[in-house]
Structure 1
């Protein structure tokens, strides 16, 4: 049986996950019909049996089925192409179903920790203005605390009701200086990712909300929307009403480093998850569910909140996608597969020298598993620091392009080796940060590894295989068949996909062991001859 579930099975799991009670075939069939799947009750029962066999669902007598823990886990991993953009479509659905000011969309976070400390930290963030509106719930459970904050798409619903359609674009982090937003320092396109961008940045440790509150400098999660310039006057009248105060900045041409087309106005909004950031920053165990529910506003408490005054500021540095950076960098590669020399692209990692044994062990493991691009690395001591460089997978792109194969870097993510599938991806043209930097702390280097997908025209497939074979590097995991998905990632007609292991896998292993690392993806170019075979180091 295939590792990936088909769309109908995933949709059935989605339906079951929305119920807190057993559900029968009739209800499931009706729900499937609403979602575009014409399955009768008999066919639904057949599909449920398939799910039962995989222990993804459980039959509860004559009452129906419930989704199991394994089913929930599979729902979060299965069919990666199906899940790309799911966060985006979920947001649009919630915008349509909510009805501010009667009902609001909430983020729900469950925290393990001291109730008084959690409450104090969360309210401190809201009190300083970093939330959507002044609505929040903090509840003490038996062994945890639940925090509910307004999701930023509640503001989108508000705009829709006022006749303005906001285009949801990015989630990211905004740098603050002297208590004011300066520029976005990283963004991910909601429609080109399998994960919630803000959740990715927050759990990756990219925020410093307490730094902003205490000394005016830090990083805040934020969202970016686009509205037509023709609605600007109406928009400014809306924000004067101050019903959902949470706008950091807005304007034309460029807003905090994000460029706009003619006729567009950009809006930077406080991330609705901002109040829980200090908890993550301080190491509290948290479980985040963004845009989890729509609830009546009467069920949300109001608290003290500082008024947030929007600034109109252009960023000093224009934000560009990783895709653009990659295309620029691959042209610096001039490695010759015949002479085994030339310039290659490297990622760089800085580690305290006291972890040298762990670094060597990680390199040895990656080399033996074959989850590095090449067996060559840079290894340099600088005082108490150890500088390690690994060949970047974009080097292979540069070599192939040099040989006339038009390669398209498509996405980076997490590859689950045991099931030969991607479980998370972010499109290279939908993020300003390398996806492997974002996923660095989410892989274990054994079953889950950093990998990337490239696409190329099928007429060049045989030549690519020939070049890769002659290159004799371990970095190519798989070359897909023409017109076929590769490890769950869709490939267009007359194209094929191939998968490269990420050059940062050794860094990820160190990170998974709790070793502090400072990484720089696509750091620069070095001469291949300056790099050392791993076998000589270990």
Structure 2
């Protein structure tokens, strides 16, 4: 993407935050704050282009405002930039937090969520009473026309902002799922880094099948969303004092604070640093989702004056205990695990024999015929985008279930590496088959414990079997050194002819489908072996989705 296009995206971002039309002078000032030295005249030039594209419209002499088409462009466009923007957004929110805990005045960061009935609010009260939130202070606005309730709750980023105001730099690291056993937090079981993702980490995990907040309340054990950050060890005592003061006024949710360089909740802490775990601000809403309630969550979208918030409950009685000092096994991230399988790929493109990496998902045997019919229909409708190879395998313990193995796209990385070509899996993404196809979400393989495609499936983000004009399928983005381009392209074309899903081969530094390769590399986009599995799930057939499971001989696989 050119510098000019980058500037226009930033202009759209500025307009999207405004409640009324604004002029070129204010836009130029805001751009300057973001590091773009663009005068009013240049802003007006860019605005005319945006008007012509339908992304903005002029409102008399008041200025311009963003259109629905502009918002859509903002959401879908420049995804390779968006993966950096998410982390920057939280840093911006920290800076904008000016809450003074001594006077209990100033702005805090809030999550904004919509619930669709009054009973949902009553259910949430028990979660707040149990201290499974950052704070019981909330704001509720009822829309009498629709019967919905917009609720703003305090986000954990508020604490990072308060630390920053007190001279303590807080580095937000991960959002994830924290395991609770007998009311004791034990370790993180899944994580996504706040860097290199277009999805806010906790929103990626906010699905009923991933959390079990209600079980923590009723049984003492379960999974809750939580965040992890680092601060310098020299600021530990001051941070504890601040957190104690915050607790007194109703802002808490702190799970544990490590000692210097001490591992915490299954995560390593570098020497000279301290780790802090905090309950995710969206936890009460995850509990609602588990009960089948419809919710719409926006995380850290705005700041709000603390005085506009009121406690939803009168007393908070924390139910979680402090984690014991026993050391937990470090949580393994996806990419290190994957490299060990990638190295074992032995597929020979000439002989069409050897091991590939497979995904193995499990389904009830009674649903197999229907599932196979869906897989065949999907392949016949989209042969360019769907890998046709599969293998049925026995379930290791349940005779009523059967496994469907498909080819994982990391097999391509393994084949190239086996032929002396370095290939790095960079992102797992959601690719919209518009014209041209565009990634609309990306998650870095290096910053997650869970396969990105499995996340997109769990959140029902694919639309492979829909009749819409723009289908959304699973794809990955890889980087290959330019020096090996000729031989790599030769091998990739052979794989494509065999039936592997190789969608596009880029040029050095080229933005392809909204993803960008680093200097001296070129990008490759490949389809996920989980696309047929996602299609099965879209048709409401229960399936246990697994990713990057095992090695399998290619010659033993069947073809749709």
State the 1:58 CA deviation: 2.5
Work out which of the residue numbers 260, 263, 271 in structure 1 matches 2:272: 263
Work out which of the residue numbers 388, 402, 411 in structure 1 matches 2:427: 411
State the 1:39 CA deviation: 3.1
2: distance between equivalents of 1:388 and 1:290? 36
2: distance between equivalents of 1:445 and 1:250? 44
Q: Deviations over 1:439-484 (max 9, x none)?
A: 1121112621111111111011110111122332331111111232
2: distance between equivalents of 1:44 and 1:275? 43
Q: Deviations over 1:204-240 (max 9, x none)?
A: 7411111110111211000001112222233333333
Structure-2-length-normalised TM-score: 0.90
1: distance between equivalents of 2:366 and 2:170? 51
Work out which of the residue numbers 123, 129, 132 in structure 2 matches 1:130: 132
State the 1:372 CA deviation: 5.8
Quote the residue 1:305 is aligned against.
316
- Whether the 8 Å CA contact 1:21–1:66 is kept in 2: the answer is yes
State the 1:5 CA deviation: 8.6
Residues 455 and 128 of structure 1: is their aligned pair in 2 closer, same or farther, counting only changes over 3 Å? same
Quote the residue 1:402 is aligned against.
418
Q: Deviations over 1:371-402 (max 9, x none)?
A: 66742201246643232110101111111100
2: distance between equivalents of 1:140 and 1:367? 47
Work out which of the residue numbers 439, 442, 445 in structure 2 matches 1:428: 445
State the 1:274 CA deviation: 0.9
1: distance between equivalents of 2:322 and 2:47? 51
Q: Gaps spanning 5+ residues in structure 1: where?
A: none
Work out which of the residue numbers 201, 206, 209 in structure 1 matches 2:210: 206
- Whether the 8 Å CA contact 1:6–1:79 is kept in 2: the answer is no
| Between 381-390 and 274-283, the greater mean CA deviation after superposition | 381-390
2: distance between equivalents of 1:366 and 1:313? 51
Quote the residue 1:168 is aligned against.
172
Q: Deviations over 1:253-283 (max 9, x none)?
A: 3211111222222111100111111222223
Q: How many residues align?
A: 531
Structure-1-length-normalised TM-score: 0.93
Residues 373 and 324 of structure 1: is their aligned pair in 2 closer, same or farther, counting only changes over 3 Å? farther
Residues 69 and 258 of structure 1: is their aligned pair in 2 closer, same or farther, counting only changes over 3 Å? same
Q: Deviations over 1:497-531 (max 9, x none)?
A: 10110111111122223332211110111222321
Work out which of the residue numbers 402, 408, 429 in structure 2 matches 1:386: 402
- Whether the 8 Å CA contact 1:254–1:314 is kept in 2: the answer is no
Quote the residue 2:223 is aligned against.
219
Q: Gaps spanning 5+ residues in structure 2: where?
A: 466-470
1: distance between equivalents of 2:52 and 2:401? 52
Work out which of the residue numbers 337, 352, 361 in structure 1 matches 2:349: 337
2: distance between equivalents of 1:315 and 1:349? 33
Residues 68 and 507 of structure 1: is their aligned pair in 2 closer, same or farther, counting only changes over 3 Å? same
State the 1:314 CA deviation: 5.3
1:510 equivalenced with 2:536 (yes/no): yes
Find the residue that maps to 1:290 and give its secondary structure.
strand
Residues 166 and 295 of structure 1: is their aligned pair in 2 closer, same or farther, counting only changes over 3 Å? same
State the 1:485 CA deviation: 2.3
Quote the residue 1:246 is aligned against.
253
Find the residue that maps to 2:540 and give its secondary structure.
coil
- List, as ranges, runs of 4+ consecutive aligned residues in structure 1 with deviation greater than 6 Å: 2-5
Find the residue that maps to 1:254 and give its secondary structure.
coil
> Counterparts of 1:437-476 in structure 2 under 5 Å?
437-440=454-457, 441-445=460-464, 447-471=471-495, 472-476=498-502
Quote the residue 1:41 is aligned against.
40
After superposition, the CA RMSD in angstroms is 2.1
Residues 315 and 211 of structure 1: is their aligned pair in 2 closer, same or farther, counting only changes over 3 Å? farther
Residues 196 and 314 of structure 1: is their aligned pair in 2 closer, same or farther, counting only changes over 3 Å? farther
Q: Deviations over 1:288-308 (max 9, x none)?
A: 111122111111102332235
Q: Deviations over 1:388-446 (max 9, x none)?
A: 11010111111110000011111111112213221110111111111111111211126
State the 1:64 CA deviation: 2.3
